[in-house]
Amino acid sequence: MSLGAVPDAGFSSEELLTLRFPLHRACRDGDLPALCALLQSSPRSDLAAEDSFYGWTPIHWAAHFGKLECLMQLVRAGASVNASTTRFAQTPAHIAAFGGHPQCLNWLIQVGANINKQDYVGETPIHKAARSGSMDSISALVAHGAQIDFLIHSSTPGFLEGLCYTVSLVIQFLCIVQLEKCQWPDSSRPCTYPGLPRMCPVSLEPPELSPESFL
């Protein structure tokens, strides 16, 4: 039965994910044996298939959940490290940066990810890292030459709403807040600030899948 032939009625969102988007499910779970088996039996076009939950391809799911080995297998199988989602024009680098996965981000950069690619609102991966308060991702991007002077006008609810800003301003804000928030007796433990506005459609937590809007 083809993916498009699976009826929606009577299935939970988990069941639909498994039936219609098994590559995506394997990447979410970090199930490397299942992923490798699917890559051998699935047509190459499935690597670029966008799910009907978030509009992500398998490599976006792997990037969001920090599954580095899945990322590697997908790229070896032909997935593009610069795959851009249809709806939001976000790449795996955008997703990994927002999710706070610097190891995945570093690997994506090493194999050719465009770290200055702008999405549908003009934000680059470093904007996503700044929004989520991921200083490790910011550091990785800056180390690889990410531009921090793109001027963005934000309509996101929160302290950035209605402001024109650059990443450098957000980084300064993060540094100030981190200095105020850190209470550790030694400097060996990391302190991150999770309170920046989140950028739809990405969530830092494993998604609660919804059966709406299926293809």
**Mean pLDDT (whole number) for 93-119:** 94
Report the alpha-carbon distance of residue 37 to residue 80 in Å, rounded: 19
User: Residue 132: exposed, middle, or buried by beta-carbon count in 10 A (0-12, 13-18, 19+)?
Assistant: buried
Helices (runs of H) and strands (runs of E) counted in the chain = 10, 2
Q: What is the pTM of this model?
A: 0.71
- Rounded to 5 degrees, φ, ψ at 165 are -150, 160
Q: Of 40, 33, 114, 106, whose CA–CA distance to 77 is shortest?
A: 40
User: CB burial class (10 A; 0-12, 13-18, 19+) of residue 199?
Assistant: buried
- Contacts within 8 Å (CB) and 24+ apart, 208-212: 209/13, 209/14, 209/16, 209/17, 209/53, 210/13, 210/53, 211/8, 211/11, 211/12, 211/13, 211/16
For 40-60, write each residue's pLDDT tens digit. Answer: 998 999 999 999 888 999 999
Higher pLDDT, 65 or 212: 65
Q: Which two tokens stand for residue 124?
A: 């680059």
What tens digit of pLDDT does each residue of 157-172 get?
444 444 444 555 555 5
Instruction: Render pLDDT for 59-68 as a digit per residue (tens, 0 to 9).
Output: 999 999 999 9
* Tokens of residue 36, six digits: 């490798």
**Cβ atoms < 10 Å from Cβ of 133:** 21
The full 3-state SS of 101-136, as one line of letters, equals CHHHHHHHHHCCCCCCCCCCCCCCHHHHHHHHCCHH
Could you give the CA distance from residue 173 to residue 42 in angstroms, rounded to a whole number?
46
Rounded to an integer, what is the distance from CA 10 to the centroid of its chain? 30
The model's confidence at residue 194, banded by pLDDT at 50, 70 and 90, is: very low
What tens digit of pLDDT does each residue of 180-190 get? 433 333 344 34
